[in-house]
Chain A
Amino acid sequence: IQPPEKPLQAEEWNRLRESFQSPAVFEEVMFNSMIRCNSPIDVAKSLLTHVAKNNGDIAYNLLLKYLALCVQQGQTSEIHDVYEIMKIKFKILESGAYNLIIRGLSNSDQWRMALTLLEEVKKIMIPSRTNYECCIKAAGRHQEMNLAFELYHEMLTKDLVPTLDVLQAFFDFSRGMKGAKLQKELFGVLLYLRDNQIYPHKMFMRSIKLWFESIPGGNWRGQLTNIKDSGQCPVCNHQLEDSDLTEEEYDNLRERIIRDVIHGTDMFRKTSPQEFEAFQTFVENRLPFDIVIDGLNVSHIKPRKMQCENLFDAVNCLAKDNARLLVLGRKHMLINSSNWKREIMKEMQNKADFFFAENISEDDAFLLYATLRSGKHCKFVTRDFLRDHKACLSDSLTRHLFRKWQRGHQIEFSPSSKKMFLSVFIQQPAFRYDCVVQTTGDTWHIPYKDISEEKYSYRVPRKWLCIQQK
């Protein structure tokens, strides 16, 4: 239904209500459409007055909707009044009302009131991240950066994930401001991006750049660039961090993979103890490998070709330079069939080591184990994203480590579309450098995502912001 444009008299409301098919919910529906159409507030007031005179009371949900309308239009004094009334009428308020009031007040000059409301919310529950967002933005808008950062840290201790908007707001509001402490805090935000592998979007990147360039006496200059495959920044010739894990991280990751992915809740789900032991001794006797190949995955690259031929091509392609190869497969590959020819399999086994797991075992877990056991130089080949194995890892820190390691060590094959007949693969190499916010003190390198480019979670951005101090 269309809300009226002008305030109505009681009789007119009555008439409207009677013409509506279900009069019981008339007010609710009317308020909803008022919010949708952003009707003038006087219209809403007249309806409230009508309801109040008829019933002597106004239901909480109607007040809430009226409040939403006020917040939508920034009617600060009305928000105040409604809050007063709610506080008198009800012992406590619920989260919806608090969200609205905090949002409404934080945008007005009475933003400090929003802070006291935030304290009130804390008494009954953990405030949402948008509550914090509103308060932080309000504080920032009024140049109270200390307060804003205090709230931000409080939010982090409560395990709330700040929105990119808040992080961006920090850079926007502290543009041109001086102070060593402030600078440290903002570097802290950048390191937060680094630790959580978050990539800022283009607008955010621009805010960062402008902030750096606005630091009085800082002499920072930012430039957009693409990093070379070698990992060198074309602007400042600085070599980016490589994607290798530290010794400690590497050991940690390996242990966690064995514990969480291979053993998990029940080792029999993915393999069996006998089989895993056999695999372990197999690997230990032949260490180290240079490339570990997921045989079954690779054999499906070109669907029209025989599976063992696909694998054969891949092995040939990788067998150059005396690389030591390990191919993981399943026992059914050894049985002569239309897809798996015994002669070809024999020939391949001369070029690479093969391990055949049981048909119902998961070979991916073996893939991870063999690669990690061989050492840092070892890479693995599969098109699988290994998401299910990543999900088995219990904490986010290890998952980040896993992602980083995966970026640096996974080689992907895809069939070249034009040369369908030639055995040529496009080999997507593992990254040599780590795609993450990084600093050396007088330079910062920040990867960012273009909004126009489609971004999948497994693909890392190729564009960078290089900032250096002159």
Chain B
Amino acid sequence: MQSANVLLKKIVRSSVLPFAAQHGMKKDLFPLSRTLSLSLCLKQDNSCNPPKKLDLDAWKKVMKSGLQEEVSETVSECKELSTLAAARELLEMWRLAGRLVPENISDEQLKTFLECPSKSAKKKYLRYLHLKELYKKNDKRKMDEKRERRLESQEQASKTDENKRNSFICLWANCMDRAYSWRVAQSMIFGQPLIFDMSYEKDMSVREVANTVRQIVLSEGCNRRSVDPFHIHFCNFKDDSLYHKEFIKHYREAWGKLLITVTDQCYTDVFPKDKLIYLTADSPKVMKTFDHDKIYIVGSMVDRSIKTGVSLARAKRLGLETAALPLEKYLLWNTGAKNLTLDQMMQILLTLKDTGDWKKALEFVPKRKYCGFVSKPVRQLQKTLNLINTLKLGKRQEEVQKQFAKSYSRKLTQK
């Protein structure tokens, strides 16, 4: 065995050495020599027929080439990275790896990112920023497209120039605004009060407060445009609270000119207690009719984490009457929580105030949450819903079918 090995060595050496010498190699490279000799053979083969053999590691050379000069720079920079910059680098790498990470991130956002308590919180926050960025980009693209189209159409219009005459000067938006303001001002004197209870700040995260304010802004808009607006009160409103900051972000200068009443007092100090009704989904009492003499309170709270009974507790503490919307009575509930957004509440209350028609008012409940309006007795509908669900899940099919057949035949006989 050994002798054979030596022999092999000799042969290989004799054939390789001249080649190695050519390329300026030293001895002691025996482990390499065999592959070298092999590739030599292959090379000879290749020279006969056109190049067919792939160099599988060529990509490494490509990647390494032209990088040597940069290395010295990057190493020195590496050491001076602050935590913020390091986080930025990390995010950039994540983006390259194909994770959902925003392209641009401000220092403030970066700080929030670093302050996230857990890995999943970080991931969620990044995802949120990424989606936000995406929406912004899409909006911008759409705006640009629109502008281009408008310019085009204007060009065409200018070619076929025709002077249009009109008896009104086009001032629609302005006029409408003034009319609305007039109405809301009227309601501030004669209108029915509606209270937003702004005392939930400590129960919410920053994002939830932002969402709340957004919903209130929407509801204020609805109220302003309605035929007979409420007189909106913000009670328990503290200056320099998070709510306040968010409101200013939305309204800017208009915040001082809003036709609503803002107070840091509690509603129990402003209005007689027996007139107040706290609206909360947790209430055991169900609202039957809309009372024009009562003053309804809506809690300004968005709770993404499930905190049941927070507003009910508040009403209990103050000894106020509570009420919930009769969702069960009028709607065949499907999925989702019974708490509605503030703007939906506003729409429902406005409709009730104008018409007193529950069916019309509850149109504003999101469609995904219910299957339909209740026309038949609730229990029967519930049965059909259960039936549908069990059929969907494929559970106990025979039993369900039997039951269905039974009820169906009964219906037929009834007719």
| Contacts from A to B (Cβ < 8 Å) | 7, 9, 28, 42, 45-46, 48-49, 51-53, 56-61, 64, 81, 85, 88-97, 124-125, 128, 265-270, 272, 359-360
Contact = CB atoms under 8 A, between A and B. Distances in A.
B349 to A, nearest CB: 24
Nearest to A6: B54
Contacts of B313: 266-269
A58 B97 contact: no
A360 B52 CA distance: 83
Majority-rule SS of A interface residues: helix
A45 B97 CA distance: 19
Given A96-B97, A272-B316, A53 B62 contact: yes
Contact of B97 (A64, A92, A124, A269): A64
| Most chain A CB within a 10 A radius of its CB, from B52, B81, B96, B119 | B96
B193 to A, nearest CB: 25
B59 A88 contact: no
11 contacts: A45-B57, A49-B57, A56-B62, A59-B96, A90-B93, A93-B93, A94-B94, A96-B94, A96-B99, A97-B93, A359-B284
Contacts of A61: 96-98
Contacts of B96: 59-61, 94
Interface string B73-89: 01001100100001001
Contacts of A51: 59
**3 shortest interchain CB distances as A-B pairs:** A268-B313, A60-B96, A94-B93
B56 A7 contact: yes
Contacts of B411: none
B170 interface: no
Interface stretch (B40-48, B63-71, B224-232): B63-71
B67 A88 contact: yes
Contact of A125 (B67, B78, B90, B312): B90
B28 interface: no
B60 A81 contact: yes
Find the residue from A9, A88, A128, A267 having the highest chain B CB count within 10 A. A88
B340 interface: no
Contacts of B169: none
B98 A94 contact: no
B74 A268 contact: no
Contact of A49 (B55, B67, B97): B55
A56 B317 CA distance: 71
Contacts of B94: 94-96
Describe B's contact surface by its main secondary structure: helix
Given A94-B97, A96-B97, A266-B310, A45 B64 contact: no
Interface in B307-335: 308-310, 312-314, 316-317
A49 B59 contact: yes
A27 to B, nearest CB: 12
Interface residues of B, number: 37
Interface of B: 52, 54-60, 62-64, 67, 71, 74, 77-78, 81, 86, 89-90, 93-94, 96-99, 119, 203, 284, 308-310, 312-314, 316-317
A60 B62 contact: no
A89 B56 contact: no
Contacts of A60: 93, 96-97
Contacts of B81: 91
Contacts of B56: 7, 42, 45-46, 49
Contact of B63 (A45, A52, A267, A359): A52
A92 B93 contact: yes
Q: Which of A58, A125, A268 has the most CB of B within 10 A?
A: A268
Contacts of B77: 91
A405 to B, nearest CB: 25
B303 to A, nearest CB: 12
A96 B55 CA distance: 28
A85 B60 contact: yes
Nearest to B313: A268
Contacts of A9: 52, 54
B319 to A, nearest CB: 10
A151 to B, nearest CB: 20
A49 B58 contact: yes
B74 A58 contact: no
B63 A58 contact: yes
Given A58-B63, A125-B90, A269 B309 contact: yes
A48 B57 CA distance: 9
Nearest to B51: A9
Contacts of B314: 266, 268
B46 to A, nearest CB: 13
Contacts of A266: 310, 313-314, 317
Contacts of A92: 78, 86, 89-90, 93
Contacts of B97: 60-61, 64, 94, 96-97
Contact of A269 (B63, B64, B312): B312
A267 B309 CA distance: 11
A222 to B, nearest CB: 39
A57 B57 contact: no
Contacts of A64: 97-98
A91 B78 contact: yes
Contact of B58 (A53, A81, A97, A360): A53
Contacts of A95: 94
B59 A268 contact: no
Contacts of A89: 63, 67
Contacts of A88: 63-64, 67, 71
A94 B58 CA distance: 25
A90 B90 CA distance: 11
Contacts of A45: 56-57, 59
A84 B120 CA distance: 30
B63 to A, nearest CB: 5
A52 B59 contact: yes
A85 B67 CA distance: 10
A269 B310 contact: yes
A392 to B, nearest CB: 12
B86 A124 contact: yes
A347 B54 CA distance: 94
Given A61-B96, A85-B63, A268 B316 contact: yes
B127 to A, nearest CB: 16
Nearest to B315: A268
Given A92-B93, A94-B93, A97-B97, A360 B63 contact: no
Contacts of B284: 359-360
B89 A58 contact: no
